Amino acid sequence: MEFLAQNLLNGVSIGSFYALVALGYTMVYGVLRLINFAHGDLFMWGAFLGYTALTAISAAGLSPGPWVFVPVLPGVMIVLALAGVLLERTAYRPLRSAGRLPPLISALGAAFILQALARNLYGASYKTYPSSVSLPGGVRILGDVTMGTTQIVAVLAALLLMSALHVFVHRTRVGTAMRAVSLDHDTARLMGIPVDRVIAGVFLIGPALGGAAGMLVALRYGSFDFTLGWTFGLKAFIAAIVGGIGNIPGAMLGGLILGVVESLGAGYISPQWKDLIAYVLLALILIARPGGLLGERCAERV
């Protein structure tokens, strides 16, 4: 029972990070019907930019305690938001009317560029955040089920960001316009909605959340390298598909399910098999519901 609870907890924790990254894929897909392959690498850059900021603070002679996240996390989010808008402007907008394949190739190109940049600037070795930024201790949740304080804070931050996004998308004018644009560009234009600016807004939010996830993942798992975008990011992408790509609650649900299944697979069967188990289950979900759990029921209208 406690073993189950511990695994569920781990699963929710990792799943909330998948979800945070999955949101970026799904929101861009929503407004552009484009798979933004570069999103995983922007997420990876979040981890590296955080690393740079933390090591700079150390180098300046200040011992970076957990408090440094208060300025550094929003800072990294802002830098990535700007990078996201730049990406949209340079790699996607010029190809907006070129059909579906050219933007996809452009996305792959951008992904490779971001990855190569990270490898060349930071090297191929694993990086670790200074241990002084972690919160000490852990919390006993029930019985022997425990969770590190850092983990708890990271998960709460992820959930908080997702709630903020939910409120934004459902309770504000601009958020509602984002949903309208993902349904129908032309009709949104007839309403006076500046569709290009709304799309740019999506490219602000997605990478900002991805960047935050990058830092939180680096903090929780200790070490990372330039392949983080492909390894972790790809799983987040799959989470978005399972939830129903284009659907925001779907991305959150998909992320959580992937995290929980993976964690249960690792706990009850074997850590070596966890990816296989997770992917088989996800394949089964997609066979039963090709549009994803919360996606459109019928095949996509192109």
Partner 1 sequence: MSEPILDIRELHVWYGQIHALKGASLTLGAGEVVALIGGNGAGKSTLLRAISGLIRPREGEILLRGCSLVGLPAHEVVGRGLSHAPEGRKVFTALSVEENLAMGAWVLGGDRTRIDRQRERVFSLFPRLLERRRQLAGTLSGGEQQMLAIGRALMAEPQVLLLDEPSLGLAPILVERIFATVREIHRAGVSILLVEQNARGALALADRAYVLETGRVALSGAAADLLVDERVRKAYLGEG
Chain contacts with partner 1 (rule: CB under 8 A): 173, 176-177, 179-180, 183-184, 186-195
Q: How far is CA 97 from CA 33, 103, 177, 247, in A?
A: 12, 9, 21, 23
> Pick from 288, 84, 295: which is nearest to 182 by CA?
295
Least spacing, CB of residue 161 vs partner 1, in Å: 23
Q: Which is nearer to partner 1, 63 or 172 (CB)?
A: 172
At closest approach, how far in Å is the CB of 301 from partner 1? 12
- State which residue, 87 or 177, has the beta carbon closest to partner 1: 177
In the complex with partner 1, the residue whose CB is nearer, 144 or 184, is 184
- To the nearest whole angstrom, how small is the minimum distance from the Cβ of residue 247 to partner 1? 9
**Cβ pair 80, 213 in contact under 8 A:** no
- Whose Cβ is closer to partner 1: residue 97's or residue 131's? 97
Alpha carbon 129 to its chain centroid, in Å, reads 19
Question: Residue 294: what are its φ and ψ, rounded to 5°?
Answer: -110, 15
Tokens of 71: 């300025």
Give the C-alpha separation, 56 to 48, whole Å: 12
93 vs 179, which CB is nearer to partner 1? 179
DSSP string, 221-250: HSEE-TTHHHHHHHHHHHHHHHH-TT-HHH
Taking the C-alpha atoms of residue 271 and residue 110, their distance in angstroms, rounded to an integer, is 32
DSSP state of 35: -
Q: How far is the CB of 188 from partner 1 (least distance, A)?
A: 7
State which residue, 74 or 194, has the beta carbon closest to partner 1.
194
Quote the least distance from Cβ 29 to partner 1, whole Å: 15
Helix (H) or strand (E) holding 142: strand 138-142
In terms of CB distance, is 225 or 296 closer to partner 1?
296
Query: Residue 139: beta bridge partners?
Result: 147
Q: Residue 61 CB, nearest distance to partner 1 (Å)?
A: 48
| Both structure tokens of 254 | 């998909």
> In this structure, are residues 272 and 50 in contact, taking their beta carbons and an 8 Å threshold?
no
Please give the Cα distance from 179 to 29 (Å, whole number): 12
Shortest separation between residue 170's beta carbon and partner 1, angstroms: 9
